[in-house]
Amino acid sequence: MRYEIVGDTLPAVICQLEEEEGMITERGSMCWMSPNMEMRTTSGGGLGKAFGRMFAGEAMFQNLYTAQGGPGMIAFASSFPGSIRCYDVTPQEPLIVQKSGFLASEMGVELSVHFRKRFSAGFFGGEGFIMQKISGSGKVFVEIDGHAVEYNLREGQSIIVDTGNLAVMSASCTMDVVPVRGAKNIIFGGEGLFNTIVTGPGKVVLQTMPVSTLASSIAPHVSGGN
């Protein structure tokens, strides 16, 4: 499979497939394709995995597109202004991705729900409570809200992140949620009550404009019809 990511703020990925090669997507994000691409809807491993994907913010069923009778072409578009990143997933190096971050992948990739290990982290982590685990083997395309900023953390090295800004991290990283210190900081700081700490080793990809942040920013201007 060969691919090209096109566009700036509203990107798409165009995939060139050999005969019998396939791509998986879960949100109806296909935007154009060659006539010989055949679509089949599947539960992607049974109802258990289907319900797990639903909790992770994806559809219960997957669409599998396969090139029939020769090479084929298919394109998938981002659902929010930002960027698309491609990652190579292996059985030894799975990824943890933000809720609804999965765009499309090769057929050897599997998607499942990922819960934070500590209950407190999940309870206070807001949209970061449930994330997606991408495993298996193959290329996966992930949506990033806004611009992507990448860090490679050493063993024991940490970074403090607002929960919504965490887009992707290596499964070797760990997460925890800590309260903001100081009553004045909590009341007047405007940064919420909790922060997420990601600790290496592994890769961390942050996003500059989470859709939740954008929604809260424009809400005061559209409420009440004024």
Q: Which CATH number covers residue 114? A: 3.60.160.10
**pTM for the structure as a whole:** 0.81
In a domain, 226, yes or no: no
In a domain, 225, yes or no: no
In a domain, 224, yes or no: no
CB 3 within 8 A of CB 139: yes
In a domain, 26, yes or no: yes
Which is nearest to 164 in space by CA: 118, 195, 120?
195
Query: Beta-strand (E) ranges in 100-193?
Result: 102-106, 109-115, 130-136, 138-145, 148-153, 158-161, 166-170, 174-179
Work out how many domains the chain is built from and give that number. Answer: 1
In a domain, 48, yes or no: yes
| Beta-bridge partners for 16 | 2, 73
In a domain, 37, yes or no: yes
Residue numbers of the domain that contains 110: 2-219
In a domain, 113, yes or no: yes
Q: What one-letter code names the amino acid at 43?
A: S
In a domain, 142, yes or no: yes
Q: Per-residue confidence of the chain (226 residues) as pLDDT tens digits? A: 999 999 988 999 999 999 999 999 977 789 999 999 999 988 665 555 555 555 545 556 789 999 999 999 999 998 889 999 999 999 999 999 988 889 999 999 988 877 655 544 444 444 446 788 999 999 999 999 999 999 999 999 999 998 789 999 999 999 887 776 544 444 444 455 677 899 999 999 999 987 766 655 665 656 555 5
